[in-house]
Amino acid sequence: MPTAPQTDEGWYVLHDFRSVDWDAWRDAPERARQRATDEGIAYLEDHEAVADADEGASAVFSVLGHKADLLVVHFRPTLDALSAAERRFEGTALAGFTEQTTSYVSVTEVSGYVSDDWFDGNKDDIDEGLRRYIEGKLKPDIPDDGYVSFYPMSKRRGEEYNWYDLSFDERAELMAGHGDTGREYAGKIKQVIASSVGFDDHEWGVTLFSDDPAHIKDIVYEMRFDEASSRYGEFGQFYVGRRFPPSDLGAYLDGQPVPTSEHESHHGHSDAAGHPHGESEGHDSHAHAHGDEGDHGHDDAAGHPHGGGEDDEESIRGELEELNIYAGKPHGEDVYATVLYSEADSEELFDEVNGLRKNFDHYGTHVKTAVYEANGRDRAAVVSIWETASAADTAAGFLSELPGIVERAGEESGFGTMGMFYTVKPDYREDFVEKFGTVGGVLADIDGHHDTDLMVNVEDENDMFIASQWRSKEDAMGFFRSDAFRDTVSWGRDVLADRPRHVFLA
């Protein structure tokens, strides 16, 4: 008899689909419509703030097509909390203008397909990166991405193809192949997969989030060709929608495009903080993983891409090239670096980064993540390099939760960090460090220079990263035009094992 994988449950999930009685809405007096709007906004804002529970998440989406008009998604620690959230909506005046066309109930889970270690022994002893990944699956955030797609699915139990007749190893192999397809969408798609076995008509509810609806179509289409789907997948109805802040409910009911903050030129107003999803200033959302098939997570306060505008960066690269200084991104022309600094013990920091790196390595867009220790200073830099800016964004969300993080590259300066990556020939390592000391003395006397550190990879002492922070682009370029830097570049051709790369990181 095939073995059922172990499971562990997290938060309960309700997808609450509502249709609006537009005839009743049009016929209602303005006072009644205003009351319904006000009470609807209050309900949605309270639940997005999770005022009704100790933890969880909620969001509202407009739904396209005839199947529904609104989707309210709730994650809560208990099924009872979901029930209360659903019933509280019925107490609003807005409920009188809506009908619940359908709903879906599920619970987030992690299974033995992901990790046997989670179910064996002390969970606190497992790899830190894996532990955070699993905790993110069990207690997911709702990403800020603009578009959502929801669909239920089951595994086929037919006479020819029966998922539940397969051995655990066969199922695990098929799931791994399915995940390989999903990883190609790292940074484009976030997902939450929740089990509905015994709770609803299908076995899982799948919610996909993206800032580009075409990515949702593409990933579902490509996965149809995976054997796990082509032979064993059965799907229910699909729903697609657009997230908007609760404060835009009135605009939505009036037929305006939402979120209104993305259409200010048409409407002349936005939400209170000017954000597309109604976040207040200082809102801090953390990146978590939501399943096995795509990249997961979204930006938090430290999770923005560490690259200036494309025009600014291309201008800098062009000027460096005119000075005969190679300005390519590290490891190639089409990768992106994110850098965070930490004052934690470098060994402790490396242990946690190593755990996250094992998770990063699951994604084809990951190039490199390493810890660099400052030479002669109690500071470390975590450098993570990816093939896409969005993947670097997502990684920054995870890395920002590492111990002792004090700043992101460029936070304290108007221009940011010029990162200089060098691989030194072992016989010249000490000469290189000594040369940096000389150049560092020159830098200290230059106007507009904030700080420069020589950082050494804790795993490879010949791999070095110089983080140089400046007040402005012109201040930094003044140094790169100097004779001192030209002499250093010329000298470096003899001592470096690889071509140096000078990269605008922030």
The whole-number average pLDDT for the span 145-170 is 94
Mean pLDDT of the chain: 80
Annotated catalytic residue 341: no
The answer to whether the CB of 113 falls within 8 A of the CB of 175 is yes
Q: What is the number of residues in the chain?
A: 506
The confidence score (pLDDT) of residue 423 equals 85
Kindly indicate the confidence band of residue 416, based on its pLDDT and cuts at 50, 70 and 90: low
310-504 matches 7-267 in CATH topology: yes
Percent of the chain with pLDDT over 90: 42
Mind listing the pLDDT tens digit for each residue in 303-349?
Answer: 233 333 445 555 555 665 565 554 444 444 456 777 888 888 888 89
* pTM confidence score: 0.57
Q: What are the tokens at 383? A: 């450098």
Query: Which sign does the torsion angle of CA 433, 438, 439, 440 carry?
Result: positive
The confidence score (pLDDT) of residue 94 equals 98
Residue 426 CB contacts under 8 Å (≥ 6 apart), including other chains: 462
The confidence score (pLDDT) of residue 285 equals 30
Question: Which SS3 state, helix, strand or coil, does residue 504 take?
Answer: strand
Amino acid at 82: L
Residue 493: closest CA among 447, 432, 436, 443:
432
The confidence score (pLDDT) of residue 123 equals 67
Question: Which SS3 state, helix, strand or coil, does residue 506 take?
Answer: coil
Strand duo 366-374 + 449-457: pairing? antiparallel
Residue 180: closest CA among 141, 125, 228, 120:
228
The confidence score (pLDDT) of residue 306 equals 33
Q: Which of 35-39, 458-462, 472-476 has the lowest mean pLDDT?
A: 472-476
Mind listing the pLDDT tens digit for each residue in 71-121?
Answer: 999 999 999 999 999 999 999 999 999 999 999 999 999 887 776 667 776
Whether residue 29 is predicted with pLDDT greater than 90 in this model: the reply is: yes
Whether residue 209 is predicted with pLDDT greater than 80 in this model: the reply is: yes
CATH topology of domain 310-504: Alpha-Beta Plaits (3.30.70)
The confidence score (pLDDT) of residue 318 equals 60
Question: 377: exposed, middle or buried (C-beta count within 10 Å: 0-12, 13-18, 19+)?
Answer: exposed
The whole-number average pLDDT for the span 118-146 is 79
Residue 397: closest CA among 282, 285, 283:
285
CATH topology of domain 7-267: Alpha-Beta Plaits (3.30.70)
Candidates 151, 341, 363, 372; catalytic one: 151
Domain boundaries, the chain: 7-267, 310-504
Kindly indicate the confidence band of residue 281, based on its pLDDT and cuts at 50, 70 and 90: very low
Whether residue 241 is predicted with pLDDT greater than 50 in this model: the reply is: yes
Q: Which of 16-20, 183-187, 267-271 has the lowest mean pLDDT?
A: 267-271
Report how far apart, in Å, the C-alpha atoms of 64 and of each of 241, 254, 301 are.
6, 16, 31
Q: How far apart are CA 488 and CA 444, in angstroms?
A: 16
The whole-number average pLDDT for the span 479-496 is 73
